[in-house]
Amino acid sequence: MMKRMIVLGLMGLLLGGCSSVPKELAYEPESALVAYQPALAGMEGKPARWSGVIAAVHNEQDQSIIEVVYLPLKSNGVPEQTEQSPGRFLAVMKGFADPGLYAKGRSLTVLGTLEAPEESAIGKHKYRFSVLKVTASKLWSPVKEVEIRYADPYFYDPFYDPYWPRRSLHRYW
């Protein structure tokens, strides 16, 4: 009986350590969340959890509109860094979003309800954005670039001889 309790306790700890979406972005049932599609129409009021990289922030009097390049979510809610994106969406947040924090290139995940798509532009190109009225959001820490160093394949260390033991034995035979 005691072994069973210990095993169940350990299993609970292991399962609790699995990656999951942060509490502020949780939504039940997960199956009710609308998957990203460019310029969704007729889905107003439905819940969605989308993520991506911030492209621009536009602050208005009582709200902020954050333009986000959509990226798919990983199982833990973090945007997956990929080279391809199916489009952009607008995340409409109450209040002021500081452009210093919500800077271009930062990863963002938002939870909210869909609103009617909006016609706007990216530069001079006309674009129809899906719009998400944000109820909860998570601004992810910036990804730190790691310098990768490669070994020079033509470098030769004169003091390293991988065949040393065999060569030394062959001399005496």
Asked, for residue 151, whether it belongs to a domain, the answer is no
pLDDT of residue 28: 63
Please tell me the predicted confidence (pLDDT) of residue 24.
66
Residue 74: inside a domain, yes or no?
A: yes
pLDDT digits 0-9 by tens, 109-127 = 999 999 999 999 988 999 9
Residue 69: give its domain's CATH number.
2.40.50.140
**Average pLDDT along the chain:** 79
pLDDT of residue 140 exceeding 60: yes
Q: Say if 163 falls within a structural domain.
A: no
Domain that holds residue 52: 39-140
Query: For the residues 27-36, what does the mean pLDDT come to?
Result: 75
Q: What is the pTM of this model?
A: 0.69
Look at the chain and report how many structural domains it folds into.
1
What's the pLDDT score for residue 97? 93
- Given a cut of 90, whether residue 156 has pLDDT beyond it is no
Kindly state whether residue 162 falls inside one of the protein's structural domains. Answer: no
For the segment 38-72, what is each residue's pLDDT rounded down to a tens digit? 777 788 889 999 999 999 999 999 999 999 999 99
* 158 found inside a domain: no
Band of pLDDT at residue 91, cut at 50, 70 and 90: very high
Query: Residue 89 and residue 50: Cα distance in Å, rounded?
Result: 9
Is there a domain that residue 28 lies in? no
What is the C-alpha end-to-end distance of the chain, expressed in Å? Answer: 67
**Is 70 within a domain?**
yes
Model confidence at 142: pLDDT above 70: yes
Q: Is residue 48 part of a domain?
A: yes
